[in-house]
Amino acid sequence: MQLYRKLDLSIYYWLVATVPSGVTVEDGFPTGTLELPTVSISSLDVRDKPFELGGCNLDDIFWRIDTFAVNKAQRDELAYLIYKELEQGIPVYDYDFGFVAPPQIGTLVVSKRNLKVIHVFADLVEKLYWRSGITFFTYYEPA
């Protein structure tokens, strides 16, 4: 399995473990019927950035977590929880060994977090819901 896919899976399962039970977690932006509350994770960009002298490079990955909630309080609670938990970084696991207790192979180090409320207007959507987006960058640090 490619390292990038392991990063995707690790952040997805980290998000599942972070949010309260009863919150749906989607791998990618939700399509179809939206069940509230829902959070989704999407990898937006991967770019190469120089690191130290000597031509070493790190991949800088841009992520977005969207929250969809029933009301303002629920949206804020989910968004603040996720935003705060991102400070710790995200453990990366080797899913080549399976999905039950795989070994940790590194960490996604988080930087440039941004939390933004997204206004949804009742006249533009069938069902009014409360939404926010959290964007952030990560780089992979092997164990």
pLDDT tens digits along 23-51: 999 999 998 888 999 999 998 877 766 55
Query: Residue 120: its pLDDT value, please?
Result: 80
User: What pLDDT is recorded for position 61?
Assistant: 92
Residue 127 confidence (pLDDT) above 60: yes
Structure tokens at 141: 């640090």
Instruction: Walk across the sheet containing 57-69 and list its strands.
Output: 24-27, 38-50, 57-69, 130-142, 104-118, 90-93
| Three-state secondary structure readout of 49-91 | EECCCCCCEEEEEEEEEEEEECCHHHHHHHHHHHHHHHHHCEE
- Measured in whole angstroms, the distance separating CA 123 from the mean position of its chain's CA atoms is 29
> Mean pLDDT across the chain, nearest whole number?
90
Among the four given CATH numbers 3.40.630.10, 3.30.2000.30, 3.30.310.160, 3.40.50.300, the one describing domain 3-142:
3.30.2000.30
